[in-house]
Structure 1
Amino acid sequence: MEKDQVHVFAPATVANMVCGFDVLGFALDRPGDEVRIRKVDKPGVHLVDITGDDGRLPREATKNTVSASVLTYLQHLGRSDVGVEIELHKQMPIGSGLGSSAASTVAGLFAINTLLGNPLSREELLPFAVQGEELACGHGHADNVAPALMGGITLIRGYAPLDVVKLPAPSSLFASVVFPHVDVPTRDARQMIRKKVALKDAVTQWGNIAGLVAGLYSSDYELIGRSMHDVLIEPTRAILIPEFYEMRRVAEEEGALGFGISGSGPSVFAFAQSEETAARITAAVQRLLGQQGIESNGYVSGINTTGPKEIDD
């Protein structure tokens, strides 16, 4: 059943999960982005308002990831008769490494699909979200949009064709997330990555990914922790993040199961076996950054297993 207007929240996400570069990610309870979409008589997609972005996002409907994804979605359905106005309300920092563009894109797609009575499943929406990521950052990866759209923890088994697997999220697993107010552009972080790696390092990485997945299935928190090590990407990207190794040391002292970079950074995250431990880790890491004169945002979250959701106004 179609609606006249919809208000949607979509969550921030942590991609890579330390050892799973471009293939693993999970959704957070907060922060996230909100989209309001309503039907209008004039056909087409009209982006009428953006808040919370400090004027950084494009206002043209074909260049903003939210409206462009909605436009592609409508073209796919052959619904040239539909006219919508979109408002995007950014509730999370841009360039944080927390899937900001993914949250916005997923919120827009979930909203338009809900508005039109859900003609497509979430799995069918995923390729449109990946296209939105390509527009936003030049690389159509799914490790942010998949958990944002599907909820929980996701594994991107392959891209040709796109194959997404939902992994179990142990109920006692909590995330501590800290966003230091430093600039690490996604494109720059990706360009630093080595194009060739030693076979022994690749084998180590494969073992850690397999161990992490096995730990999630068995709720083996010790296995989860000892698998969260990255020998391929983190050593290079950590250079861009001030106090990275000190933050990891502090997090581990407070009981972190594992610690690493969220996406391309600068946000960092730790897994903990309780909400209280995650809160202690967040406070300790923020305290360390504050001592170095670096402002930050801190979040404590369970694994968001629902993904986007409609908000009742």
Structure 2
Amino acid sequence: MANESSTPLGAGGKGVQVYAPATVANLVCGFDVLGMALQQPQDIMTMRLREQPGIVIQHSDGYQLPVEPEKNVAGASLLALMDEWKEKVGFEIIIDKRIKPGSGLGSSAASSAGAVVGANHLLGNPFSNEDLVRFAMNGEKVASGVKHADNIAPCIYGGVTLIRSIFPLDIVQLTAPPMYVTVVHPQIEVRTSDARQILRKEVQLKAAIKQWGNIAGLVAGFMKNDYDLIGRSLEDVIIEPVRSILIPGFDEVKKKSKDAGALGGGISGSGPSIFMMSREEYVAKGVEEVMIDVYTRLGIEFKTYVTMINYSGAKCMAL
């Protein structure tokens, strides 16, 4: 569907503002199957229905992302939704991206999920959350070449989600106890597609068995509110040893954060962001000091967040 531009943005019908949260994918051992939404940072998207069919995309940030719907993650997701809606409809959208692309914090997922959540709201909520995940996965394919849902699902559902299956899509919402999440984003870029290419295509059975135990333990820890079990299960013997070489300071941050009392953590998505989970706020803030110290000494620019799990997912406010 072409990028229509005959109607100025804001001249269309009713509007909505969408707040789409950052997400942490994988949760250390759950590669492509576990994800968690964060309270901060969040993308902000302003959407309106258009009088004419089509999609108009504008950006109010400085990232110079594409505005053609087929090349934009939000646009690709909206096109998938519009294809199933059948009736002619148009959307105009302004994206204020607060989650830096390439950060490992689900930037593309926030745009993809936020767009379909906003569109669904404007249409009267005809689609289920599972439908919205399915649409938004088209945006992830534009971003990384792969239709994965471990960022999309928590962004839409909130909290912690398990992707039991992609085809057919099977999403399980997990309960999780309150936890603080400390994130450091070194200002370097690790492309998701590059981070996938360096992964081993085969793993030893011994490693796979250990990984399965950690995934099961982490899920059980969340559902039982067992912080000690969560901490013991935050171990990755397959993906992290390979990807961590792309992130300067990773090993030092992880070791010193755990020494400071963090339950554990690791690479957020494909990186370069690193997240650590803590039971108490004062521990989470102490972990932030560790991260600041490491990257200040390394001379690498960085940004930190001390936040919590976002249990609501992407939210809409009427304009």
Establish whether TM, by shorter chain, passes 0.5.
yes
- Partner in structure 1 of residue 60 of structure 2: 51
- Partner in structure 2 of residue 156 of structure 1: 163
Tell me, yes or no, if structure 1 residue 104 matches structure 2 residue 114.
Answer: no
User: What's the CA shift for 1:312?
Assistant: 5.2
Distance 1:79 1:274 in 2: 50
User: What's the CA shift for 1:252?
Assistant: 1.0
Distance 1:183 1:104 in 2: 18
User: What's the CA shift for 1:79?
Assistant: 2.0
- RMSD of aligned residue pairs (Cα, Å): 1.2
- Partner in structure 2 of residue 305 of structure 1: 311
What CA deviation, in whole Å up to 9, does each residue of 1:195-240 have, x standing for no partner?
0111000000001111111111111111110111100000000100
User: What's the CA shift for 1:41?
Assistant: 1.9
- Partner in structure 2 of residue 182 of structure 1: 188
- Partner in structure 2 of residue 291 of structure 1: 297
- Partner in structure 2 of residue 237 of structure 1: 243
What does 1:126-141 align with in structure 2 at a 5 Å threshold? 126-141=133-148
Choose which of 142, 147, 150 in structure 2 pairs with 1:143: 150
Tell me, yes or no, if structure 1 residue 4 matches structure 2 residue 11.
Answer: no
What CA deviation, in whole Å up to 9, does each residue of 1:41-60 have, x standing for no partner?
2221111x1122421x1111
- Partner in structure 2 of residue 65 of structure 1: 73
TM-score normalised by structure 1 residue count: 0.95
Whichever residue aligns with residue 64 of structure 1, its letter is: N
- Partner in structure 2 of residue 166 of structure 1: 173
Whichever residue aligns with residue 174 of structure 1, its letter is: Y
CA contact (8 A) 1:275 1:302 kept: no
Choose which of 174, 194, 197 in structure 1 pairs with 2:200: 194
CA contact (8 A) 2:20 2:44 kept: yes
Choose which of 30, 33, 37 in structure 2 pairs with 1:23: 33
Distance 1:192 1:217 in 2: 33
Distance 1:72 1:163 in 2: 19
Whichever residue aligns with residue 224 of structure 1, its letter is: I
- Where does the alignment leave 5 or more consecutive residues of structure 2 unmatched? 1-12
Aligned residues between the structures: 307
What CA deviation, in whole Å up to 9, does each residue of 1:231-251 have, x standing for no partner?
000000010000111111221
Whichever residue aligns with residue 124 of structure 2, its letter is: G
- Where does the alignment leave 5 or more consecutive residues of structure 1 unmatched? none
Distance 1:52 1:274 in 2: 34
Distance 2:205 2:30 in 1: 16
Distance 2:48 2:223 in 1: 41
User: What's the CA shift for 1:300?
Assistant: 1.3
Distance 1:156 1:43 in 2: 34
TM-score normalised by structure 2 residue count: 0.94
Whichever residue aligns with residue 262 of structure 1, its letter is: S
